[in-house]
A and B are shown apart, each in its own frame.
Chain A
Amino acid sequence: MKAFTIAGINLRRFVRDRSNVFWVLVFPILLILVLGAAFGGSSDPRLGVYEAGDGELSGGLVLLLEEQSGMQVVGFESRDDLVATVERGEVEAGLIIPADYDAGLQAGRSVVVELAIRSAEDAQGIRGNVQSALTQQSGVLRAAAFVQAEGAGTFADGLDVAAATGENIPDVTVTVSSVGEQIGYFQLGRFDASAQAELLLFMFLTSLTASAALIQTRRLGVARRMVATPTPVRTILIGEGLGRFVIALLQGVFIMVGTLVLFNVDWGDPIGASAILIVFALVGSGAAMLMGSLFSNDQQAGGLGVLFGLGLAALGGCMIPLIIFEYFAPTLFNIAHITPHAWGLEAFDALVIEKGTVVDTLPFLGILLGYAAVFYLLAIWRLRKVLTS
């Protein structure tokens, strides 16, 4: 009960400092947005389309493009605007349909459409989709030309017949199967990977910087005064830790829900994700309590908290994905698992990539709980020594 009292007073003091709200809640979301937009690569590429004419065939091509999977189509009013937008990277490619598209095709001439692509990474998929749409339209056009050539009607009549007939022709479906091990990380959405990494990074970082608050409580003499009350040292430390735990947990929940709503981030099984959040908040608060009992200068602890928070996050795969370590630096991959971050990310992989449940995260959660227990026990031992000798 007294632990809740101590936690409550910590939360009250935390909320009174308005800047905390920005750093704990707003800043992480902004960073996820920025990182996701800059480095996320697996969402559908966007194709900008400019129709110089307003013909039926030109419009039909746009409709066929829109039906292609794995690509978004965005309309543009001018060629220059489209090209500039491609250059700025706001769309991955731009298709320019010439003004004589309809006339040329109806006259049986070859027509050239321009496709401007910004990077080779997106070229293959977009080009394939454009080619597919053109091939579909080309089949209908040939059928219409055949109708006209055989004297069975005009080109327009031929188009109608071909379109109506095409609806009744059964599809040929291509079944695709994967061969070899899939690299799951690259299947994640634009924000998924960065959101998971940022979640762990910020929960831990926020907790560590909060170690300064414990040092401040010590320096104010309040911690010592608490020891003079009928309150065991372990209760004092658990209370202090509980306040940080709740803050880290609130931050985690906020990032999770915020990114789910705003960016449709996949967090996997909600129970499993919640379990990771709770256990990682325990780890973070335990680490904060240990730091808060080891150092006696809050500014020093704040600075080192940022250093450790970012350093461990980088080492643990929150900045460079663990999969990169695994393939290109196996030793570093093993070293990364000294950090709780790596185990947290592994737990999220079990949920999001492997589509597992909370049961699949249990081995990782067990290791994380071990971290939390060690941090708290060391912190209690150290705080008792600091306050009573």
Chain B
Amino acid sequence: MDSRASVLECRDLKKSYGDNAAVKGVGFHIAEGETYGLLGPNGAGKTTTISMVTGLLERDSGEVFVNGLPLTTTSIDAKREIGLVPQDLAIYPDLTARENLIFFGKLYEMSGSDLKKRVDEVLEIIGLTDRAGDRTEEYSGGMKRRLNIGLGLLHQPRLLLLDEPTVGVDPQSRNAILESVEQLSGEGMAVLYTTHYMEEAERLCDRVGIIDLGEIKAEGTRRELVQLVGQHDRIRLQATGPCAAGVEALASLAAVREAGVRDGGIEMLVDNADRWLAEILGKVSGAGVGISSVDVEEPNLESVFLHLTGRALRD
């Protein structure tokens, strides 16, 4: 367990729609300043989970605490601590960005000059200051997405919940969104980020929960997850000289699981490339092999997901 204060604690969340169990006992926690990712394909139960965590959806059972406060659909105090960025846009198209922000700011009990100042700040963060007076129906998809996020940030929540915020967003806006999330996490905000994009989870999340068919199959840092399923880093060396001797030299390293000569170089599977790379290069060089390039390939969450569920993330 993280030594930092837990901002979100949810236990054994369950939700069924008729006979269809959408979420089957999901539980996790998020510490202050931590970004937690729920990674899973469409229909895995991510949105149902986030809806229960936000108090938008009645759960069948389980508990949610935000900053120590119990949260249900009727909670008021716990909801003050949460900022929500829903998967679908939730803005008034016939109002301007500023009007949308002011409206939701008031619902979060902000007022007067504090609200005005914060609205200006958020417009700056989401890069819409110049278009703040335009109706949002005139915005591009990316601009609407950014406003959607801005509305979640407005009241400076302790916990920010982003439900697949980059779906349907152009690469430039997507990058801007990811940068914003990284920045917010750096400022101490706890972030719950759901996505089916493996790259986003790897880039943003301190810890990831792999969710499928309503259950969290595994949870941890990327490395923990990779180790959990027995995946190894792959190192390829473009080499000249006695490559076979180099392979023999590597046999003395326990971290090297497999090594061989391939395509005029040496290829190996290693437990932790970051930790052992320098030693590996030393051994190979010591065997008289000339190294012209090094390529390290770490196993990604896609392969972890495949291992855990037997199918790809985008299936």
- Chain A positions near chain B (C-beta within 8 angstroms): 2, 5-6, 9, 12-13, 16-17, 220-222, 224-233, 384, 387-389
Contact = CB atoms under 8 A, between A and B. Distances in A.
B77 interface: yes
B74 interface: yes
Contact of A228 (B79, B88, B89, B95): B79
14 contacts: A5-B103, A6-B107, A220-B89, A220-B92, A220-B93, A225-B86, A227-B73, A228-B54, A228-B79, A228-B84, A229-B107, A230-B108, A384-B73, A388-B56
B92 A232 contact: no
Contacts of A17: 94
Tell me the dominant secondary structure on chain A's binding face: helix
Contact of A224 (B90, B92, B106): B90
B58 interface: yes
B90 A232 contact: no
B295 interface: no
| Interface of chain B, main secondary structure | loop
Given A5-B103, A13-B95, A387-B56, A230 B79 contact: yes
Contacts of A6: 107
Contacts of A226: 107
Interface of B: 54-58, 73-74, 76-77, 79-80, 82, 84, 86, 88-95, 99, 103-104, 106-109, 151
Contact of B73 (A5, A221, A230, A388): A388
A184 B171 CA distance: 74
B106 A5 contact: yes
A221 B56 contact: no
A13 B99 CA distance: 11
**10 tightest Cβ-Cβ pairs between the two chains A and B:** A221-B90, A225-B90, A229-B107, A228-B84, A230-B79, A388-B73, A5-B106, A230-B76, A230-B80, A228-B54
B91 A222 contact: yes
B104 A229 contact: yes
Contacts of A9: 92, 95, 99, 103
A220 B84 CA distance: 15
A5 B79 CA distance: 18
A389 B77 CA distance: 21
A174 to B, nearest CB: 66
B30 to A, nearest CB: 17
Contacts of A229: 79, 104, 107-108
Contacts of A227: 55-56, 73
B74 A232 contact: yes
Contacts of B74: 232-233
A12 B76 contact: no
A239 B106 CA distance: 13
Nearest to A16: B94
Nearest to A224: B56
A54 to B, nearest CB: 67
Contacts of A233: 74
A4 to B, nearest CB: 9
Given A9-B95, A232-B74, A222 B90 contact: yes
A226 B104 CA distance: 8
Contacts of A230: 76-77, 79-80, 107-109
Contacts of B77: 230
A12 B104 CA distance: 15
A225 B58 contact: no
Contacts of B92: 9, 13, 220, 222
Nearest to B135: A16
A232 B73 CA distance: 9
Given A225-B104, A226-B107, A230-B77, 10 more contacts: A13-B92, A13-B95, A221-B88, A224-B56, A225-B151, A230-B80, A231-B76, A232-B74, A233-B74, A388-B73
B107 A388 contact: no
A389 B57 contact: yes
Contacts of B99: 9, 12
Nearest to B155: A229
B57 A388 contact: yes
Given A229-B79, A230-B79, A230-B80, A12 B95 contact: yes
A370 B116 CA distance: 42
B84 A225 contact: yes
A221 to B, nearest CB: 3
Contacts of A228: 54-56, 79, 82, 84, 86
Contacts of A389: 57-58
A230 B151 CA distance: 14
A222 B80 CA distance: 17
B101 to A, nearest CB: 12
A6 B90 CA distance: 15
Output the residue of A9, A229, A384 with the most chain B CB within 10 A.
Answer: A229
